[in-house]
Structure 1
Amino acid sequence: METRTRGEVVVAVADGVLMLDVAGPAQVWHWAGRRVRFASPDGRPARTDIGAPLGVDCALAEVDSKIDTLVVPGYPPEEMVSPPLVRAVRELARNARRIASVCTGAFVLAEAGLLDGRRATTHWMACAELAQRFPSVSVEPDAIYVRDGDVITSAGVTAGIDMALALVEADDGQEAALDIARHLVVFLRRPGGQSQFSVRESVRTARTGVVRTVLDAVAADPSADHSLAAMAERGSVSGRHLTRLFRRQTGLSPARYVEQIRVEAAKALLVSGDDGVATVARRCGFGSEESMRRSFVKLLGVAPTEYRGRFRANAG
């Protein structure tokens, strides 16, 4: 397809980088007419997770121009945070209009202090660890990607393509992004709010009986009373202790888990049924239609009616 040059994207790579985390987003930006450069901490080729060498254009410290987007792909658990990469990314971020991560690249951004006080996501299997290691980061395990100001983090592997398409759409408009999506044979958008994995599954590793009991009760009946007091009483602990257990084992507060479960239930009803939005809100435990709308906008970036229209259309 025809491309046009504008802006510059720098992909920061080091040994162990996940090949698909690099290739997918880079292809999107290349077709969007961006100059894509690969840079490593020492300027040497990087060894990808599958063993193939990845050539680079320069060392990260040698990138001296103002860049449009700095991208940090993911790494396997044993190579997740390389100190030289963290230092280089921290420095280079000062010259970037925006910073993006794919999959566990969020750990590099967090270690560099670039996620402090921000909302973020990563691969669903690593969300709890991200929340535990970096308590100043508000981790959103149910998101495909999260945009907080000039920092964008995406979930695992192919979610990097979704994120790159969303940024192209924001820069160049829907038609430009749609054209690239057609060439990639993917949907233009699984929006940031389209779940990367069911919230019920993403917290399935909760270990204590207290947390497991509360999780199961909320998932079984989203419309019931799930105030902190009610959940604490159900688990026979104080609200403060329950909150600590929740954050430690799931990366979420009890209230956030309840909200996500209710939104997940509402999403299913909106796509599969014909009940009005107010009825869906009531069936899923929201106090009002407006309350559900606020939760949808906050977690998904779209209103319930827009979500219904978009995903019912895609399903058809």
Structure 2
Amino acid sequence: MKIAIAGGTGFIGKALTSYLLKKKHMIYILTRDISNKEDQQNLKFIEWLSPKTTPEEHLEGIDAFINLSGESLNSGRWTKQRKKRIVSSRVDTTKEVVRILSSLKSKPKVLLNTSAIGIYGTSLGESFSESSSTVGSDFLATTVSVWEQEALKATKFGIRTCLLRLGVVLGQGGGALNRMIMPYQFFIGGTIGSGKQWLSWIHIDDVIKSIEFLLYTEAISGPINLTAPNPVQMKEFGRTISEVLKRPHWLPVPSFALKLLLGQMSILVLEGQRVLPKKLQDHGYSFSYVTAKDALGNIKEI
């Protein structure tokens, strides 16, 4: 396949690109700056989101477009300015993706557009699948909702569009895991907040393999939860980290302290949702990691 990837230099993008290159696909990475990037066999870098750039001229004939673009949610306090960047890094880039698709004479068969389980809002008691009509009212939920509406405009061109509602991605070298395990590495790990909040996680390998699965599974479109089949509550997840690292799980982190430290961003660790990957399972995807213990045990660098 000829596959365009926006956001190909991030945590998921690097892993996905490496995997797809091993499968002999031709990959086009869209990036803002190509000055320090060299094309390789089956890998070409294309400049976009800069004045006068026309990436569509290099993408005629692609089979799939994967949009992973978006500023990290957990790299800083959510100031007004940062919220604007979080929204624009998702919505504006998706608008540009749709513009590119509209200009291609030969349309790709599929658009896989990153989204997030944050759209469901937070809940201690409810479970969410792709058929859930619930949309939260917090900042994350409203951002994801607008983001998805932009991506769905690709359906006007007859392009199968998948909204990849990602959970918390566990993998070495990036994502949220490094911050989550750090207290345990210093022997001060413990329950965060009430510990009852749900963590809907997925191993990076399953992210990559489910994306590959979606490239070929023409029967799937719309929202797709990229989460493992067994979400865990934060207290259990902390104990699992403790067991895998052979470190104590003893020092609780009260909610008010995190709210003071992180502000509104504390929602990422103090609240959550129990999200199930019903569409993937219904269509026969087999997860490599179904328990948090298996996933954490596989991540060697922790």
Answer whether TM exceeds 0.5 for this pair: no
Structure of larger gyration radius:
1
**TM-score (norm: length of structure 1):** 0.37
Larger strand proportion of the pair: 2
Higher RCO, 1 vs 2 (CA within 8 Å, ≥6 residues apart) = 2
Name whichever structure is richer in helix by fraction: 1
With normalisation by structure 2, the TM-score equals: 0.39
